[in-house]
A and B are shown apart, each in its own frame.
Chain A
Amino acid sequence: MKLNWNAGTKSATRRAAALACAATLIAAGAALAAPLLINGAGATFPAPLYSKWFSDYNKKFPDIQINYQAIGSGGGIKQITEKTVDFGASDAPMSDEELAKAPGMLHIPTVMGAVVIIYNEPSLQNLKLSPEALAGIFLGKITSWNDPAIAKDNPGALPATAITVAHRSDGSGTTAVFTDYLSKVSPEWKAQVGQGKSPNWPAGLGAKGNDGVTGLVKSARGTIGYVELAYANQNKLTIAALKNREGEFVKPSIESTSAAAAGVEIPADYRVSITNAPGKGAWPIAAFTYVLVRQEQSDAAKGKALAEFLWWAAHDGQSLAAPLDYAPLPKPLVAKVEKTLRSLTLQGKPALAR
């Protein structure tokens, strides 16, 4: 087609037709060049899995592209509350106070993660810790590896080396889960330190990130710390077994993490702590990670695409979790998530055609 802009013809209809044609062409071109963009931001912990999900999903549906910025859970909650992104992601569920500022926000659990205890004491091969011993160490009360509280569960000769505690110095969801567990098992921890992303640590050295804590633990004998399961597995760190609520010593694994969710009554909004969970074989320091979306989606195209993606993540996406050391959601929970996803709406109508 030819667009003769400065032609002498005064025919208004022709000009209008030409304009319309041009507009359609531009619109079609834009659709080809730029697929539907969905923006998300939040937790760093699930970021490796999410980027795998987004790239796989994009290969399957090239017209949908999801961008994710791993800026931290706090930032994710802030951005979805201010509606600057289409979805947020957080390791910790939003507080009641935060939810009050963002009405209609839904928590969609995507996968589960675990926090594990790593240590560096070459003479101790299979360290077993009771919750009391763990809390005592992080409270700074148990300062030597041959302390009776440790000896009780570890028969044999224990080294008299001093214990150095390594913890995260940056605000972190990993810390929030870990301190949540300690607050549940130790009244003293709860009273003195409490739960949070940046607690006032009574003992030890701080280091930035999982790698920082790992660096501390690796570099000095007698050091103990906590990192995410994925990180510990990929770096082959020495991991301690922990006594769970049933009184059995468990090693953290993908199975024992998923088992933690099976034994807990999950409320409709999924805002629940699954640390110190009951159930056989359950690893006691586990947590969900969530995607945060608004129940009523204002943008029709984006809302529909987002709902479809979350559906895919809860089904096909789960099989991608284990290879990256994330624990998939247990089956009964997926059924629950399906129900929640069906409640997403576009102008009052269901966003999912399922």
Chain B
Amino acid sequence: MIADPVVQTAQPAPRELSHAPGRRSSDRLWSATLTTLGGAVLVVAGVILFSLGHVSAPLWRTVHVFDFLFGSVWDPEREKFGALTYIYGTVVTSTVALLLAAPVSIGIALFLTEMAPSQLRPLVSFPLELLAGIPSVVYGLWGLFVLVPLLRERIEPLLGRALGFLPFFQGPPIGLGFLAAGMLLAIMILPTMTSISIEVLKTVPGAQREAALALGATPWEAIRMAVLPYARAGILGAVILGLGRALGETMAVTMVIGNTPRISASLFAPGYSLPSVIANEFAEASGAMHTGALAALGLVLFGVTLIFNSLARLLVRAAERGPGRRR
């Protein structure tokens, strides 16, 4: 079953050449190579899953899966392990990052491909690529020394005054917390999402646009009705990739999230995320239970990523079946 897609992609091209003698064996070699490479991905994922399961085995002997997933007390010294606060932190920070970054990056991509003069494109895409190359620990430092004080002294008090009636913007402005982590992640995933969106939008055929414009559409209407529906699946793919980075980001998040295992509705409050606690505690984890619990957190992170990706895939499918059925 792994072989199917590989064979499909390998076959159509050489069809007219396949009469030539000697083609078949090289074809077979080629397809076997690709199958192996494709299979290697599954093998690697499988090995990671298996070893995480193996290391976390001592935990499952004494802690029930439900207690682990829905418990909110994490006390390694007393061998109490509940992952809920970490799951919450990961989901909240990634969601905040996505809500902030997705509109901005799609906007940048649309601007660059649809509106900006083509000479302007490298002017924007070069700093974007630069942003993508900055190591996460540098983002973390910047977050700690620039973003967090800014949040504490300006943005959070302002948000509290303006939107304080919402539970998300209540409480004392500490700076470190979900909002800081979410904003930092948003900046970190912006380049990935933007550059893929740009590539996707570039594939939209010019005729598509021109047809809409010829029918009397304004540029905005052409984007909304002709360009975006065509590129929707690809843009969602870009968002998924960005999300993947946000879910797994460790160093930068650790530096600004406050590392406090607590569930609070307020984005101003400090929290903790799954990768952060693994990075923080693994080096000095003593005993099979603690190490096992950290490996189990790895499994949970695997699961969270899987769920997020499946949701996004469902969204793509729904989008393709949606009103823009014009391909």
Contact = CB atoms under 8 A, between A and B. Distances in A.
B255 A212 contact: yes
Interface string B274-296: 00100111111110001000000
A172 interface: yes
B87 interface: no
B322 to A, nearest CB: 44
A75 interface: yes
Interface residues of A, number: 32
B284 A220 contact: no
Given A71-B283, A220-B175, A200 B77 contact: yes
Nearest to B283: A72
A171 B283 contact: yes
B174 interface: yes
Given A73-B284, A74-B284, A219 B148 contact: yes
Contacts of A216: 176
A77 B77 CA distance: 17
B93 to A, nearest CB: 15
Contacts of A73: 284
Contacts of B145: 219
Interface residues of B, number: 34
B171 interface: no
A208 B75 contact: no
A197 interface: yes
Contacts of B285: 74, 171, 198
A170 B285 CA distance: 10
B64 interface: no
A75 to B, nearest CB: 6
Nearest to A195: B77
Interface string A192-203: 001111111100
A206 B284 contact: no
A172 B75 contact: no
Q: Which of B74, B279, B283 has the most CB of A within 10 A?
A: B283
Contacts of B194: none
A171 B284 contact: yes
Interface in A149-201: 162, 164, 169-173, 194-201
A52 B176 CA distance: 37
Q: Which of B144, B145, B259 has the most CB of A within 10 A?
A: B259
A205 B73 CA distance: 16
B260 A197 contact: no
A74 B283 contact: yes
Given A194-B77, A196-B77, A75 B283 contact: yes
A334 interface: no
Contacts of B170: none
Contacts of B282: 171
Given A196-B76, A196-B77, A199-B77, A170 B281 contact: yes
A72 B284 contact: yes
B152 interface: yes
B164 interface: no
A208 B255 contact: yes
Nearest to B270: A205
B254 interface: yes
A226 B298 CA distance: 30
Contacts of B75: 199-200
B160 interface: no
A250 to B, nearest CB: 28
Interface of B: 73-78, 80, 144-145, 148-149, 152, 172, 174-176, 254-255, 258-261, 270, 272, 276, 279-286, 290
List the 8 closest A-B pairs by CB distance, nearest first.
A171-B284, A206-B259, A196-B77, A169-B259, A200-B75, A72-B283, A170-B280, A74-B284
30 contacts: A72-B284, A74-B283, A98-B286, A164-B174, A170-B280, A170-B281, A171-B76, A171-B281, A171-B283, A172-B284, A197-B76, A198-B77, A198-B285, A199-B75, A200-B74, A200-B75, A200-B77, A200-B80, A205-B174, A205-B176, A205-B270, A206-B259, A206-B272, A206-B280, A207-B255, A207-B259, A208-B254, A208-B259, A216-B176, A219-B145
Given A171-B281, A206-B272, 20 more contacts: A98-B286, A162-B172, A169-B276, A170-B284, A171-B282, A171-B284, A172-B284, A196-B77, A198-B76, A198-B281, A198-B285, A198-B290, A200-B75, A200-B77, A205-B270, A206-B258, A207-B255, A208-B259, A220-B152, A220-B175
Interface of A: 71-75, 77, 98, 162, 164, 169-173, 194-201, 204-208, 212, 215-216, 219-220
